[in-house]
Amino acid sequence: MPTPKPIQDVINAFSRLPGIGPKTAGRLAFFLLSAPDELAQDLANSIIALKTEVVTCPVCFNIMGRGQTSCDICQDEHRDRSLICVVEDAMDVLALERVGAYQGLYHVLQGVLSPIEGISPQDLRIEELLKRLQENEVREVIIATNPSMEGDATAMYLQQRLQPLGLRITRLARGLPVGSDLEYADPTTLVRALSGRQEMGVS
């Protein structure tokens, strides 16, 4: 017996999600079939809302709810407006916010430079960042792209573009992660950890 079309449709839809194969998709579909109606209803509604109610902030390109003029972080009066942290995507903002140690604003590039994939500077929100820096009183830009080849390329590109503006440009430190082992550290990280070593006893 072929799978009835409504079920097959759900299975096909789930299979398109990352990390979900046809087996998992089938299990999820049959689970929803036997679960209370509200569960499927809530899921469907929240997925629709996700695409219609979430937009990007026109200032920092972080995600925000529809109808807001700018995102919660950009609106927050208590935040240091002279500090902008540049990240690759909105997930990075969430990661930094979870730590709660940063009190400035963000700028989401919505991607990272990649010569091989053909992602050039004009594909990222770099012109918007420059405009923002020219129009606002900003003291420091923290470049928080990932410590990968693409992240480094983006950081170097930004550094060259931002240099003429005469503000402080910093990059997140890189070194040994907590709980790691020197023995397994790669040469690049070890060199960075050595050159970026810090005085002890100074908080």
- Which positions lie near another protein, rule CB under 8 A? 18-19, 113, 115-118, 120-122, 148-149, 152-153, 156-157, 160-161, 163-164, 177, 179-181, 184-189, 191
Structure tokens at 153: 């390329």
Rounded to a whole number of angstroms, the minimum distance from the CB of residue 149 to another protein is: 5
Rounded to a whole number of angstroms, the minimum distance from the CB of residue 120 to another protein is: 5
Pairing of strands 104-108, 140-143: unpaired
Measured between alpha carbons, how far is 47 from 139 in angstroms, rounded to an integer? 40
Measured between alpha carbons, how far is 109 from 125 in angstroms, rounded to an integer? 5
Structure tokens at 19: 């990390």
CB–CB of 141/168 below 8 Å? yes
Task: Rank residues 65 and 115 by Cβ distance to another protein and give the closer one.
Answer: 115
Instruction: Residue count of the chain, please give it.
Output: 203
Rounded to a whole number of angstroms, the minimum distance from the CB of residue 81 to another protein is: 26
Task: Rank residues 64 and 88 by Cβ distance to another protein and give the closer one.
Answer: 88
Q: Please work out, in degrees rounded to the nearest 5, the angle formed at the alpha carbon of residue 132 by the alpha carbons of 128 and 134.
A: 120
Q: Which amino acid is at 133?
A: L
User: 3-state class of 79 per DSSP?
Assistant: coil
Task: Rank residues 52 and 122 by Cβ distance to another protein and give the closer one.
Answer: 122
Task: Rank residues 103 and 180 by Cβ distance to another protein and give the closer one.
Answer: 180
Rounded to a whole number of angstroms, the minimum distance from the CB of residue 167 to another protein is: 15
Task: Rank residues 2 and 177 by Cβ distance to another protein and give the closer one.
Answer: 177
Structure tokens at 48: 């629709």
Rounded to a whole number of angstroms, the minimum distance from the CB of residue 152 to another protein is: 5
